[in-house]
Structure 1
Amino acid sequence: MAENDNVFEISVSDNGIGIPEEKQEVIFETFRQADSSTSKQYGGTGLGLALVRKYVEMHGGNIWVDSEEGVGSTFTFTIPSGSGLK
């Protein structure tokens, strides 16, 4: 976690299957996944990232993903330091 210009920036990375570029925005929508066939293999309903985006935006922040298929993903979000995050 880093704090620059009164903004906290938090990143979480994995070395999973990655997300195709054309699907990276869809994963933040309610009940949406990059590939519905992966829900059978990996589980999930498509609510987690939608909820995270909602909470981050409620605190005045932003969230995004950088991902490469077969390599993994890095999810990053920012929260203004005066937003009540401790």
Structure 2
Amino acid sequence: MAERLTSLIAGLGLQGRFSAYTVLPREPGWLARARRLREPGELLGRRLRLVDYWAGLLALRDEETGELLALDRGLVQHRVLQGKVG
């Protein structure tokens, strides 16, 4: 991957020393294990903890059952959310 990035930078005619960063999920396997929610209403009444965010998905763990859930951020972004922070 670093070699590919280097060749892309060289192709742009840039020269010099560069640092490259990648953003990966904290725990890469959660995406395959999480149950994908289709509707934010499925979160009602649950006590949840945000455990990760990657590729537009929120990874939430149900504090009571331990179930891992994935929710597309577009389903909650710019909506009015009610909750209790404690």
Which structure has the bigger radius of gyration?
2
Q: TM-score, normalised by structure 2?
A: 0.23
Question: What TM-score, normalized to structure 1?
Answer: 0.23
Highest relative contact order (Cα 8 Å, sep 6+), 1 or 2?
A: 1
Greater strand percent: which structure?
1
